[in-house]
Structure 1
Amino acid sequence: MSRMTGADPGLFGPGSVTWQAHGDPMMWIAGVRALYLQALHPRAVRGVMQNSDFRRDAWGRLMRTANFVGTTTYGTTEAAERAGARVRKIHSMLTATDPGTGELYGVDEPGLLLWVHCAEIDSYLDVLRRSGFRLTDAEADRYVGEHRQSARLVGLDPAVVPADRAELATYFEKVRPDLAAGPEARAVDDFLLRPPTHPLLVPAREVLWRRVAHLAYASLPPYAHELYGRPAPAPATVTRQLRLTGLLLRRVPARLRWQLPPKHILRAMARLGPDARPAPYKLGR
């Protein structure tokens, strides 16, 4: 029972797969995988690179994405709708130019929004499941379907967004001929491997961050490795590495992890009561 009668559960609510899954620490590695994958669509990544200094603002971009996911997952319906409206307004004002043809196009083209959405959902689902977060096939399909809501927030018609894993796989087969590792993708790859940092923090970057980046890259599908031209361990080896990483990260107490700003989960529990706490075992109920 919720502590507050009639409290707004938000777009997804504690009964959703999304609510339970997005509290997992492996979402951070999944987010980096999504950046690698998104960068392989030349038209989409060009829109990012031409409208921001990616190398100086990549951390900000990653944190804004994390904040958007947290708000839309655990915030009130009003907060989620406001976040979506902000994203739509920003996208409506941005354009990019195709250097080959000179074509000027909007970054809010439905095809580009759909690519970004599908790359994120595929990354979240793939990393979570391979790292040991238990989801049945039916729950995984539910997860994909639930995110037609988040797709709507960024301006997509939910009817054109994949509703389950089979539709998601069909989408990737259809879009693969459009993918390439162009100069913008190379810049993203270079940043993720060697992000600018204070000289005193370079050793920590080499020890900690490179492991995260390498694991995120390794978890990409084989066709992405082929496009980037960098090899990766065999999928079974990567899955073992993901499971070990998940095991280690999940040993950090959730309450400690959730103290990091902006504390979306703790605020949701304060609004809805302690029973709203995300936990994987609740999916089997």
Structure 2
Amino acid sequence: MSEAHAIARGGWPYDPTRRREDYGFFGPGSPTWKVWTNMTALIGFQRSVTLEHFDPFLTAAVADAGGIYLDPRGRLDGTLSYFLIAAVGDGRAAIETSEMLMRVHAKATGIEPISGQRYSANNPASQLWIHVTGWHSVLKCYEMYGPGPLTPDEEARYWAESAIAAELQTCKPADVPRSREQVRDYFAEVRPRLCTSERANEAMHYLLRTPYRRGRGSLWAMSRIIAPATIASLPRWMRRLGAFDQPAAVDLAAIPATRLAMRAMNRSKAPLVVLKKILPMTHEVFDQNHTGPPPVNAETITPARARELYGGGGNAGR
């Protein structure tokens, strides 16, 4: 996903005019659909792409490609729409999109300057970091700014579904957390390997408050509107390490204001209109999920079965 910006619109495999084959991997009523289709996912997404840069290998891949600086809207749109397709798209879209991304990622290799080691965007450890931070951040912001915590049964199912979605990436199945406790253990395990750098801080600040000249007016405004809520959701040590901490008073103001705003947005169709202007590919996935016709087959499917039906070259790295 770190190279999603490199995908030209003409090569993006998701076709919103095609009727869905099935309900994807989870289906209506699943906690994944509930969490990922809430507008709080936009805050969770900004949170995840920001803190991803504490992984020096991912920072090197993003910085060397330069896509977030050349086309921040395209890069963010491609990445978020991929996550959303994996969560709520049908099996065909999920497989076709994930396989194309891995082909793009296969070209993203180089030397990480801090350690001098080689990086690869398809490296299982980096892919696991992207996956866990994405699914954790979206749930965190759903709990913090949306309806609140899932029930214990829903949360157990959410993390089980997260592990299913990870099958679309090069993550090693045994390493994927399957509960809140395992997620905590994962973050405790990787924390000693996290670090910051000039390039990491530049990227994090850029993603939190995208400059007007690159993000245009819409992304420039959206990034600044949600940045205080994103920062408020992060632990203090990350905020200090990334040099984007904010006063406690800002946290106190941002949290209740964001809750009210999210409540209003989820009751209105206006956010989809705004989303179409800012993140058009993401809007296509949201819109088909919200207003599209039912799928051809009203059933869910496994990634393995979807790969048999729609895969072209299998899952790289497995």
Residue in structure 2 matched with residue 244 of structure 1 by the alignment: 260
Structure 2 residue 269 is the aligned partner of structure 1 residue 253: yes
Q: Describe the shift of the 1:182–1:14 C-alpha distance in structure 2 as closer, same or farther (beyond 3 A).
A: same
Contact 2:56/2:195 (8 A) holds in 1: yes
Q: What does 1:17-36 correspond to in 2, within 5 Å?
A: 17-36=31-50
Q: What SS class does the counterpart of residue 170 from structure 2 fall into?
A: coil
Structure 2 residue 143 is the aligned partner of structure 1 residue 129: yes
For residue 188 of structure 2, what is the amino acid of its counterpart? E
- Name the CA distance, whole Å, in 2 between partners of 1:207 and 1:15: 33
Aligned with residue 141 of structure 1, among 140, 144, 156 = 156
Q: Describe the shift of the 1:177–1:102 C-alpha distance in structure 2 as closer, same or farther (beyond 3 A).
A: closer
Contact 1:70/1:264 (8 A) holds in 2: yes
Contact 1:258/1:266 (8 A) holds in 2: no
Deviations 1:95-129 (A, max 9, x none): 02122453323222111111111111111010001
Aligned residues: 268
Residue segments in structure 1 that go unaligned for 5+ positions in a row: 1-5, 277-285
Residue in structure 2 matched with residue 45 of structure 1 by the alignment: 59
Q: What SS class does the counterpart of residue 65 from structure 2 fall into?
A: coil
Q: What SS class does the counterpart of residue 119 from structure 2 fall into?
A: strand
Q: What SS class does the counterpart of residue 50 from structure 1 fall into?
A: helix
Structure 2 residue 22 is the aligned partner of structure 1 residue 8: yes
Q: CA RMSD in A?
A: 2.9
Contact 1:41/1:179 (8 A) holds in 2: yes
C-alpha deviation, 1:207, in angstroms: 6.3
Residue in structure 2 matched with residue 55 of structure 1 by the alignment: 69
Q: What SS class does the counterpart of residue 48 from structure 2 fall into?
A: helix
Q: Describe the shift of the 1:193–1:11 C-alpha distance in structure 2 as closer, same or farther (beyond 3 A).
A: closer
Q: Describe the shift of the 1:258–1:7 C-alpha distance in structure 2 as closer, same or farther (beyond 3 A).
A: farther
Aligned with residue 271 of structure 1, among 280, 294, 307 = 294
Q: Describe the shift of the 1:101–1:76 C-alpha distance in structure 2 as closer, same or farther (beyond 3 A).
A: closer
Q: TM-score, normalised by structure 2?
A: 0.74
Mean CA deviation greater in 169-178 or 141-150: 141-150
Residue segments in structure 2 that go unaligned for 5+ positions in a row: 1-19, 300-318
For residue 243 of structure 1, what is the amino acid of its counterpart? R
- Name the CA distance, whole Å, in 1 between partners of 2:242 and 2:207: 13
Structure 2 residue 217 is the aligned partner of structure 1 residue 217: no
C-alpha deviation, 1:198, in angstroms: 4.7
Q: Describe the shift of the 1:75–1:100 C-alpha distance in structure 2 as closer, same or farther (beyond 3 A).
A: closer
- Name the CA distance, whole Å, in 1 between partners of 2:158 and 2:105: 26
Q: TM-score, normalised by structure 1?
A: 0.82
Contact 2:46/2:208 (8 A) holds in 1: no
Identity %: 27
